[in-house]
Structure 1
Amino acid sequence: MTASERALGNVANYVDERTGAAAWMKKNLTKVFPDHWSFMLGEVALYSFIILLLSGTFLTFWFDPSQREVLYEGDYQPLSGVKMSAAYASTLHISFDIRGGLLMRQIHHWAALLFMVAIIAHLLRVFFTGAFRKPREFNWLIGVGLVTLGIVEGFLGYSLPDDLLSGTGIRIAEAILQAIPVVGTYLAFFAFGGAFPGEAFIPRIFTVHVLLLPGIFLALITVHLMLVWYQKHTQFPGPGRTEKNVVGYPLMPVYMAKAGGFFFVVFGVVAFLSAVASINPIWLYGPYTPAQISAGSQPDWYMGWLDGLVRMSPPLETHAFGHTISWNILIPGLIVPGILFTGMALYPFLESWMTGDKREHHLLDRPRNAPNRTALGAMSLTFILVTLLNGGNDIIATHFSLTINQIMWFSRIGILVLPPIAFVITKRLCLSLQRADRDLVLHGTESGRLLLLPHGEFVEVHEPLSAEKTWTLTQHEQIPALELNSHDSHGVRRPGGLKNRLLKRMSVATVEQVAKPDADDIKAIEHH
């Protein structure tokens, strides 16, 4: 044993005698994690968040969160001598005067975009595979909370430089605040420290962006990882995988080596993007002044759907009792997003209620085996894509020689028509894929060999599936619809009949399936 090995052993023994860590580490360092590419989406979100913390800490060393008016005297000559806020001037100082400052700004921005892409993709993976079911409802709620906070955090960070483009977004946010009945004006005055734009907004959102929300993020991510560790990771079905085991690789050394290497891959991709692709060039926009607005202004993609909702809303207002309610701002800016995020948060409980399934689930679903859920997801994505398209209606109009009114009316009609169409098509596709799986199990795969029968008929020889493939296609459980009778055994109507009829209809729609082949079907086909 070398001197260094003895020293490490002594340190480990010292710590173990005082904390008892050896037994805990021996048990948990061999914890098994399943291996599938889609599980890396959550890791991308985690590593992007770490990059955000590191780059954001660097930027706070020189950023001045103040709206006091200063005269710019930095190295960027086109703005030399221009009056601007200290926040905008310090951002220019970071970009042009601090070595590596512009690169760090762009790393921070690209990491934020990647974080939102990864966390939404991760949430979609969880939704479409049913990973939100018992006992993981709390983790689903944490995920929805992280997406919501990510949108707010991204908007606040985007607004900090106080340039003309971000100021336009702040003005829209102020309008949404004012649209809240009765208390909207008071909330807007509180947020801005007086009339818009005021001098208190940038310092306040700096505190929220740098201190409050990152702390909440850290707490939620920590709880999320603790729950994943305690409840064990979900896994896709396969031979040897059950609801009571996990098939994969141990944490040490395999998983940690892969995770550590993947972190540097993500960091490298973000750094490369930041070095070659310019993003948010605030020096081209100039400082914010309420009297100006930049043409073709677009928010970050995760805010585009909200901007598209506001743009497509017709001019609806109500005047009553001395108050004006701007429905054209209130509905798309607050009510519709509130319904969407509330529905997302409650969906695991609604699905459990509709199916009556209260059991624990550690094996994931194939999306085709949950056609109603997959169709709901496709419908929601179609809704978001239509609003996102309308969020860039001015850019689309200029690039494709269309008018904004054409895009506006397409979006207004499409947001009502396209999501239901997407639901029906997706559900039919899932049922068709189930039917194809059933035929594959019963008849096998085409071999490409033709057989000439004695009476002259040509038939193609089919090869039976392997036991592994057959098990994968038939292992899923098909839950029957709830049996809810409107009358009891004595013919007396049960209370809550309307609710039970509604629940029964939803249950039938939710569990609609193509019957998978059982052992009797397979034996019967073998005789043909």
Structure 2
Amino acid sequence: MDRRFRLAGAARRQASHVFPKHHSFFWGEFALYSFAVLVLSGVYLALFFVPDTTEVVYSGPYEPAQGLFVSRAYESVLTLSFEIRAGLFVRQLHHWAALLFVAAMVLHMCRNFFTGAFRRPRELTWLGGVALLGLGIFEGYLGYSMLDDLLSGLGVRILSGLLLSVPLVGSWLHWMVFGGEFDGDIWISRFFTAHVFLIPGLLVALIAMHVGLVWYQKHTQFPGPGARESNVVGERAVPGFGTDTLANGLCVLAVLGLLGGVFQINPVFLWGPYTPAAVSTYIQPDWYAGFLIGGLRLFPRWEIHLGAYTVPAPLWPGLVLPLLLFALLAAYPFLERRATGDRGPHQLLQRPRDNPVRTGIGAMGLTFYGILFASGATDVIAASFDLPFEYLVWAGRIGLIVLPPLAYTVTRRLCVGLQRADRDVLERGVRTGVLTERPDGVFLEVRRPPGGADHAGRPIPLDYGGARVDHRPVTPSEPVAEEQR
């Protein structure tokens, strides 16, 4: 290969690529390796799943379902679970990997947001991450919807109602997805095509672009010894980073294998086939769809009548709200750059306390999402704790208005307080807990210099990299200990 394509030189240069080390950087790798598990397990499942809505009578080994009229899709899922070798294990492995894939992307984006990793020149990387998150959520929804069990059938019925709620073009959108009235005869095959071919292809392309941009633009790094805006401090790609990421991938596979083999998830044989007249409690969608269900439950039944047209209430929490949230997420790097005027390139990350406004906005967004997520389980909470369902709905509505601004205020004040503590350490030294007595009998705490010492034993001064904060200057009545000077 080297004689024909001259690969050794390029491989040697790429092997010297430097990666900084920090535990929070693993979230992106978790998402990457869980996606690899999804692809491999999904190929196995696709060999046995039948995307067909034709109704048959089940006669397999699962006795509670014998004699029931089920779709061929649901029958193939039962066959996978009880007759195919390792079928149930692979099904559960696939489902757990899907949950981890989305969760790792959320944590990875939170790390990027709170540390400012999205700043120039990495705006395109951030936009790719937002697109990956949206596609990952939609891909997961399609995956458990096409099984045609009671849980997925209710979710598909909700999607049908949301599409019909779109003014003017709702009927056309519904026809594009279902091929006619709900639920139609071809919707499972369409979901299968999108879930197995279309969206995975888009995900692979976006992941390749995302990883390529990270490799080309170099990885961001936290401030530390030798770390500057113009360099990268860490370990070489081979063997240091390569062995770490390989071990990381093996750990992800091991944990997912343990979850798939021991912890039951989405037991569709317990839910039964979808029938429009049956609705159950204590059956919740996957966690990443919880905020959508919460929005539908909290939004009031307000309908807007425009002449002959009606805008139903579910349109706003079911379609407008998630689209607005993702639009704000994608636009945030540009909004922050416009607000702060910071247009310079950045290689160094910030601690969350170094940007109180951004950290407060992030806490406000997470609080808003958390309330919607918790409200998606109001039926379970009401039944488990014997609470009135209506009270929980009103508590969620009030919480959406009151708690996010409160979270912003509290978080911002905490960040400013931590900055003051940092400033105190840099100006007066690190607290040691050791008291020394002055000649006049006053006891003062000995402060240790915050930085290291040079070859002559003199303290090395440190620069403060956070935002400007008000602080109380040192007064003559509060002299600095001799050890700090």
Q: TM-score, normalising length from structure 1?
A: 0.87
Change (3 A) 1:123 1:280: same
CA–CA distance in structure 2, aligned partners of residues 339 and 161 of structure 1 = 30
Are 2:430 and 1:449 equivalent residues in the alignment? no
The one of 356, 360, 366 aligned to 1:381: 366
Q: Is 1:356 the equivalent of 2:311?
A: no
CA contact (8 A) 1:30 1:251 kept: yes
1:262 aligns with 2:251: no
Structure 2 match to 1:487: none
> Which residue type is aligned with residue 268 of structure 2?
I
Q: Distance in 1 between matches of 2:34 and 2:463?
A: 38
Q: Distance in 2 between matches of 1:516 and 1:347?
A: 30
1:368 alignment partner in structure 2: 353
Residue of structure 2 aligned with 1:211, choices 197, 201, 210: 197
Mapped partners of 2:25, 2:31: distance in 1: 11
The letter of the residue matching 2:463 is: T
| 2:469 alignment partner, one of 506, 511, 514 | 514
Q: How far is the alpha carbon of 1:354 from its aligned partner? A: 1.1
Aligned equivalent of 1:495: none
Q: Please tell me whether the aligned partners of residues 438 and 517 of structure 1 are also in contact (alpha carbons under 8 angstroms).
A: no
Correspondent of 2:418 among 433, 436, 442:
433
Structure-2 change in CA distance of 1:473 and 1:428 (3 Å): farther
Instruction: Supply the distance in 2 between the matched residues of 1:438 and 1:413 (Cα, whole angstroms).
Output: 38
Q: Match of 2:314, SS? A: helix
Distance 1:16 1:420 in 2: 60
Deviates more, 1:404-413 or 1:443-452: 443-452
Q: Is the 8 A contact 2:451 2:461 kept in 1?
A: no
Which portions of structure 1, spanning 4 or more consecutive aligned residues, are displaced by more than 4 angstroms?
Answer: 470-473, 515-518, 524-528
1:52–1:112: 8 Å Cα contact kept in structure 2? Answer: yes
1:58 aligns with 2:13: no
Alignment-derived partner of residue 114 in structure 2: 128
Task: Find the aligned partners of 2:26 and 2:471 in 1 and give their Cα distance.
Answer: 31
In 1: Cα distance, 2:464 partner to 2:3 partner: 48
Match of 1:504 in 2: none
1:29 — aligned with what? 15
TM-score by length of 2: 0.94
How far apart, CA to CA, are the structure 2 residues paired with 1:289 and 1:355?
Answer: 55
Distance in 1 between residues matched to 2:12 and 2:472, nearest whole Å: 44
Instruction: Provide the rounded CA distance (Å) in 2 between the counterparts of 1:296 and 1:139.
Output: 39
User: One-letter code of the match for 2:89?
Assistant: L
Unaligned segments of structure 2, at least 5 residues: 454-458, 474-478
What is the CA-CA distance between 1:320 and the residue it aligns to?
2.9
Question: Is contact 1:442–1:517 with CA below 8 Å preserved after alignment?
Answer: no
Residue 463 of structure 1 corresponds to which residue in structure 2?
448
Counterparts of 1:109-124 in structure 2, within 5 Å, are: 109-124=95-110
- What secondary structure sits across from 1:233 in the alignment? coil
2:92 paired residue number: 106
> Are 1:244 and 2:233 an aligned pair?
no
CA drift of 1:525 comes to: 5.6
Count of residues in correspondence between the two structures: 474
Between the aligned residues of both structures, percent identity stands at: 48
Counterpart in the other structure of 1:90: 76
Partner of 1:320: 306
Amino acid at match of 1:73: S
Tell me the distance in 2 between the aligned counterparts of 1:472 and 1:123.
34
TM-superposed deviation, 1:274: 1.2
Instruction: Kindly report which structure 2 residues correspond to 1:409-424, keeping only aligned pairs within 5 A, or say none.
Output: 409-424=394-409
CA distance in 2 between counterparts of 1:334 and 1:471 reads 56
Instruction: Name the CA shift for 1:313/1:280 in 2 (closer, same or farther; >3 Å).
Output: same
What CA RMSD, in Å, does the superposition of the two structures yield over aligned residues? 1.9
